[in-house]
Structures are given as structure tokens and as C-alpha cells.
Amino acid sequence: MTSYPAAAIRRLVTTVKFMKALVRPPGRSYVECLSCHPLRNSIDLKRAQMQHEVYRSVLANLGLEVLSLPQDDSHPDACFVEDCAVVHGRKALITRMGAPSRRGEESAVESALGEYLVTKRAEAPATIEGGDVVHLPDRLICGESQRTNAEGIRQMGEWLGVKVDTISDEGMMHLKSHVTYLGEDTFISTERYARHPVLEGMGVIVVPRREEYAADTLAIGDSVLMPAGLTESQRLVKRAGFDVISVEVSEFEKCDGALTCLSILL
């Protein structure tokens, strides 16, 4: 009989194992994306496309099969595929996005995911976006936010058959801009939710106030993708025992997007 070290077994139950990543490069209209970022008028499309190419190769180097949808020039925000679906196990909820201009992005995502998963669409009056959903192996934490309402959260929990905890705050756009899960029973969070009851009993790395953008991380196995330049937060995550991969996402930050937004893991 093979015996596995305790640390390896622990890692298996505290992280979600992904095989594939669905992505979509930014299209020609990307500079018209929804954004409140002060630098939104300086978005460089070529640079965004290059940064996306590097992102895809990082995922491939981590062993994921990268499924790339054709760009969608009719939806400026379409590269932020995460918002189009929530995957848990072998099921996906195709979302009804809270931002009306983004509705329609989900159709190509639905067809692609339908090859591998059983899908169902969220129905009005639900609104829900994947950027609000933090994935743990045995539960989800969902933001009730500017983009996701209580009915969206209810439909998601019912279809995916998983426990959902909620963080409600109408002042937030997406929960994952504030909290993400690293694995190993550890979150990374801005101060805003670091002491929220749904994180209780778990480790929480709190990012410094000037590095709040570092709270949106993408954990794949033992590796954690983090935005380049936020060195203090990267140091905290390394010190907690994770391998950090630093990724340039300046042109996505200018569209209020971040690392998780650019893929759906399945």
C-alpha cells in the first residue's frame, strides 16, 4: 500500500484541484470597459493582449489545459470570463450579470463549459457574477454586492448543491476584490472583511492598506498568482509557505479587473 505524507493529504483536502482554465483574450473594444479606476483612460490594448498571453502561459506551465474562446469585440468586458459562470464539481451556474451591458458575454462561455459540465442559467430576478464567489473545497462564500443579489445566491446554492456563506455589503462591487482563498485553510483579505464571521477559524493574511489590490489572488495547487509590484503582500504569502508567481496585470487593473477575473477554473 502506498503511504502519503500527512502534508500531501492535507493539501488534497484543503485545496480544490483544477484541470482546465477557460479564458478569452481582450477584444478590440476593450478600452471601453466598465471602470471607475483613475487610469481608465490610459488603457493600452496591445499591452493588455500581451499581459493576457503571459497569463495564459503561466496557467499552462502550471499544468492546466487552457481553453481559449475567440475574442468578443461586441462586449468590452468579455475577457473577464470569471463573471459569466460559477463552477462547483461537475456543475456550472451560468450567471445573469448585474451589469446589464455585460449580458450576452455568457453565451459562448455556456457552450464551452457545456462540453465538460452540466450547466443551468440563473433566471431573473437573480443577478450574480463569478467575481463575488470565493471557492473552498466544501463551501462557497458569496458577496451580496452591487452585482449579486440574494436571489442569485439562492439559485447558485440550489443548483450547485453546496453550502454558501454570504458577506453582504452594498458598497462592494465584487467580493473577490477583497477576499480570496489561498488553500491550506488560509485566506488573504483586505482589512474590510478580515474579521468577518464567515472567515472565523481560518488563517487570514491581511494585506497592507496601500496594497489592497493584492487581495485578489489566483491559487492553483501550491502556487499563488499575485499582481506584480505588491511586494509586501507577496512577502506575507511566501512566509505562509506558498509559492508566489508575480504577474503583470496593469491593463486589467485599469478596468477594475484582476487575476481571478480572467479565467474560469474547472
Residues recognised as catalytic: 174, 261
- Taking the C-alpha atoms of residue 130 and residue 226, their distance in angstroms, rounded to an integer, is 19
Beta-sheet strand order (sheet of 91-94): 85-88, 91-94, 118-121
- Taking the C-alpha atoms of residue 2 and residue 118, their distance in angstroms, rounded to an integer, is 34
Does 257 sit near ligand CIR (CB under 6 A)? yes
Does 48 sit near ligand CIR (CB under 6 A)? no
Cell numbers that stand for 24 in this block = 478569452
DSSP annotation of 217 reads: -
- Of 73 and 243, CB closest to ligand CIR: 73
Q: Is the peptide bond before 125 cis (omega within 30 degrees of 0)?
A: yes
- From 80, 181, 187, 193, residue interacting with ligand CIR (rule: CB under 6 A): 80
- Of 33 and 266, CB closest to ligand CIR: 33
- Of 148 and 155, CB closest to ligand CIR: 148
- Taking the C-alpha atoms of residue 205 and residue 237, their distance in angstroms, rounded to an integer, is 7
Give the binding range for ligand CIR (CB under 6 A) out of 180-188, 207-215, 218-226, 251-259.
Answer: 251-259
Give the binding range for ligand CIR (CB under 6 A) out of 29-37, 109-117, 158-166, 227-235.
Answer: 29-37
Give the binding range for ligand CIR (CB under 6 A) out of 8-16, 51-59, 200-208, 255-263.
Answer: 255-263
Which of 239, 262, 236, 256 shows the shortest CA–CA distance to 247? Answer: 262
At closest approach, how far in Å is the CB of 80 from ligand CIR?
Answer: 4
Does 156 sit near ligand CIR (CB under 6 A)? no
Alpha carbon separation from 116 to 15, 85, 105, 137, 197 (Å, rounded): 21, 13, 19, 19, 35
Chain residues that interact with ligand CIR, rule: CB under 6 A:
33-35, 77, 80, 82-83, 99, 102, 130-131, 174, 176, 255-258, 260-261
